[in-house]
Chain A
């Protein structure tokens, strides 16, 4: 097996999300461990300008599969393009950004080409002649350390925010065409369109203070302490996904990877354990307060201030304290 490291960048019409550059940083670091330079792979149609943007990083090559069938993402076309290319080059690792698109096709790609599958890593290090990978388990309550067994390519996805874009090395890289034969690929998914969810009638991105509530609130009829605190602070109310799924608050209040991304000056997370899908939507907040019964809740690892306790006791006390302070 060749000692090569590939990174597949995700983009939409030539626009790269930040996590694609984080994946480049991760691939460069991984390649350095193996003593090689990483190579980027870009799929799409008419992506010359996008490829030039990737080529400004220090890589061995930017391989571009430019094909009309890759204009819109489908698992069938992406697996049809990447599968044979990975099998032919046999890189040790192929790095992906851990996005909803990647999770949609990476496992099936691994199965199709007989590669290993290592999703959502947050770090790796050399130990005892091999690599040890970190990834969250139990909804982020625990970190696991994982080793890869056996031979052959491993597909790895890197979690959002785990590798810093600043860590990516700039350089000048040549762009090479990657020939793909998609003639035998049957379309597996007919894309009918894309739709906005819920219409975002509440714009939480402009709120200066957000009181966000999680599963710990316990029910739609138990929101009063949350509403009272929000009123005392002049804050908007947000929520993590389980609250929305249970129908306790409308979907336009959802904060996280499938909801809104916010960065208020003050974010109070009450009864939210802190799954990564929520953290990515609020970790840019200036000051974060976490209130949770479970001292092991991952939300405390990113909070500035923490209180271990039942939100139904802490929030009323907090509302009173704020009203007293305001006189």
Chain B
């Protein structure tokens, strides 16, 4: 099967964040960027299905120049080639604008399956893959915890996570868009051989014009949402912060739990 996997590059969620000078987003200088967590699982799932059914993975990503590093990493673990929606006009899009752009890029080729992560760890709209599916007119499933390709690659049995420890099991016809939940598999690491091979693989770039899209319909210009500011919640609002080294703080905590909260 020929599989498209959409990945997003996001700040490492463990990184110490600072608000940018204009107050509208985080300061990106010196910030470490990684492949979005659930997208890494989507990539791994794509590689496994391609290996099992015979075929290849083509990886798509939208974002600035630094995104090439994540695409190179995807090529190193086994994707055959990459498409980079690199034009500055794509920047700042909401799920609708970004989903439209990705769908246009994907529809230039013919795929049997599209995989995305379920949600980005930065803006967290959680809808980009569903928008891609809507544009392509294919079925979609969000928050996928299991995929079995069936019926000679004509359909997939899909397990979707619901709340409170219940899964929905369904069958969708292919091609479809499956939005993968973190934890579905164990993503592989790149081998040295893979890293060397990735250097020779193609990263094609695409602009709105290449995709037949009006620049006014993508990125920030094509979005209904505009982030006007970001801020930290008040740290420890309501929480008593216990100071000192580990031993001192632990002793204070035990005393509080015994005498104040009375739960020990």
- Chain A positions within 8 Å of B, measured between CB atoms, are 17, 75-76, 99-101, 103-108, 110-112, 116-120, 132, 136-139, 141-150, 154, 188-198, 200, 209, 215, 233, 241-242, 244-245, 247, 257-261, 265-266, 273, 286-287, 289-290, 294-296, 298, 300-310, 313-314, 316-318, 320-322, 325
Contacts and interface: CB of A to CB of B under 8 A. Distances in A.
B124 A120 contact: yes
Given A107-B130, A143-B231, 4 more contacts: A108-B127, A143-B230, A307-B246, A314-B250
Given A138-B121, A143-B230, A301 B94 contact: no
Given A100-B163, A149-B223, A137 B134 contact: no
A100 B161 contact: yes
A59 to B, nearest CB: 25
Contacts of B163: 17, 99-100, 257-258
A147 B226 CA distance: 5
A143 B233 contact: yes
Given A101-B162, A198-B165, A309-B249, A300 B239 contact: yes
B134 A149 contact: no
Interface string B212-255: 00000000000111111111111111111110001101110110
A104 B235 CA distance: 32
Contact of A100 (B94, B121, B143): B143
B124 A117 contact: no
Interface stretch (B44-52, B105-113, B168-176, B194-202): B168-176
Nearest to B155: A190
Contacts of A136: 124
A265 B264 CA distance: 9
Interface in B117-175: 119, 121-128, 130-131, 133-135, 139-143, 157, 159-172
A295 B249 CA distance: 15
Interface of B: 11, 13-14, 16-17, 19, 26, 94-96, 99-100, 119, 121-128, 130-131, 133-135, 139-143, 157, 159-172, 182-183, 186, 223-242, 246-247, 249-251, 253-254, 256-258, 261, 263-264
Contacts of A190: 170-172
Given A117-B95, A191-B170, A142 B17 contact: yes
Contact of A314 (B169, B249, B256): B249
- How would you classify the secondary structure of chain B's contact residues: helix, strand, loop or mixed? mixed
Contact of A189 (B13, B170, B183): B170
Point out which of A258, A295, A316 has the most chain B C-beta atoms below 10 A from its C-beta. Answer: A258
16 contacts: A103-B126, A110-B127, A111-B134, A137-B124, A143-B232, A144-B230, A149-B225, A241-B183, A247-B186, A289-B253, A296-B17, A306-B239, A306-B240, A314-B249, A317-B246, A321-B254
B130 A111 contact: yes
Contacts of A260: 165
A298 B229 CA distance: 18
Contacts of A154: 224
A107 B239 contact: no
Nearest to A115: B224
A87 B236 CA distance: 45
